[in-house]
């Protein structure tokens, strides 16, 4: 198993106005995290009696011209990706001001959380053997996606999740592309992506390619082993 996760403290759970709401057949139970595009929740799909993860986009995004068309397109693309190390997309939809994507619920936390846990507990960072196993899993997922013409655009520690057996999954395929096409974000002049993981062409706003994801993966592995980003001299 890849380095063990830090147990989650129930006292750290965050709630907001979405808790208890029903989106389609999914009842929102708990907020798991938030980002630039929206928030991720643990939810219950009553029809199948299973727990799922629901990513809810920022409400103002649905008001943009063409957003729903782009959202549907990217959700469909993500749902077509079937690989052992890409999180499965079960469903997507729109209800009122909310657009959402439903994914498999992974209980093992993110790579960012696991690294943070090791640092907080003053434990060693991943060994070369563990890093090699992680790299193999992530790279195979990326190679598969690239073979279908899909580029992630935001490979980072927080977008690598684990199941209860320690298997790694890449999450949020299509989300970074959706961000790059959203005018309320791009009109601010903000660069879409996570700065410390972005390749030069993404910084410049030039077209990205599979090599862009490969660059980000290299930074991710560097950060995983040393918990720092390489400087321009490295």
- Catalytic annotation, pick one of 9, 143, 154, 163: 154
CA angle 217, 108, 98 (to 5 degrees): 85
The answer for residues whose C-beta is within 8 angstroms of residue 32's C-beta and 6 or more apart is 39, 40, 41, 42, 53
DSSP 47-73: TTTEEEEEEEE-GGGGGSTTHHHHHHH
Taking each helix axis from N to C end, the angle separating 210-226 and 111-120, rounded to the nearest 10 degrees, works out to 20
**In 10 A of CB 111, how many CB atoms?**
25
Taking Cα atoms as reference points, which of 69, 92, 70 lies closest to residue 80? Answer: 92
Sign of CA dihedral 201, 207, 208, 210: negative
Q: Is 154 annotated as catalytic?
A: yes
**What are the catalytic residues?**
154
């Amino acid at each position: 198993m890849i380095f063990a996760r830090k147990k989650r403290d129930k006292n750290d759970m965050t709630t907001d106005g979405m808790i208890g709401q029903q989106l389609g057949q999914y009842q929102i139970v708990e907020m798991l995290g938030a980002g630039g595009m929206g928030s991720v929740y643990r939810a219950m799909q009553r029809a199948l009696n299973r727990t799922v993860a629901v990513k809810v986009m920022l409400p103002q995004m649905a008001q943009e011209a063409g957003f729903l068309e782009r959202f549907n397109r990217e959700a469909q693309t993500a749902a077509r990706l079937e690989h052992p190390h890409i999180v499965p997309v079960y469903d997507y939809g729109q209800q009122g001001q909310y657009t959402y994507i439903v994914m498999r619920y992974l209980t093992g936390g993110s790579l960012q959380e696991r690294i943070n846990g090791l640092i907080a507990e003053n434990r060693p960072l991943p060994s070369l053997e563990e890093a090699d196993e992680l790299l193999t899993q992530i790279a195979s997922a990326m190679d598969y996606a690239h073979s279908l013409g899909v580029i992630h655009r935001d490979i980072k520690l927080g977008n690598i999740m684990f199941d209860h057996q320690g298997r790694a999954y890449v999450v949020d395929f299509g989300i970074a592309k959706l961000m790059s096409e959203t005018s309320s974000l791009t009109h601010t002049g903000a660069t879409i992506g996570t700065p410390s993981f972005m390749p030069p062409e993404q910084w410049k706003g030039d077209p990205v390619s599979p090599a862009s994801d490969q660059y980000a993966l290299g930074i991710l592995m560097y950060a995983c082993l040393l918990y720092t980003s390489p400087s321009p001299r490295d």
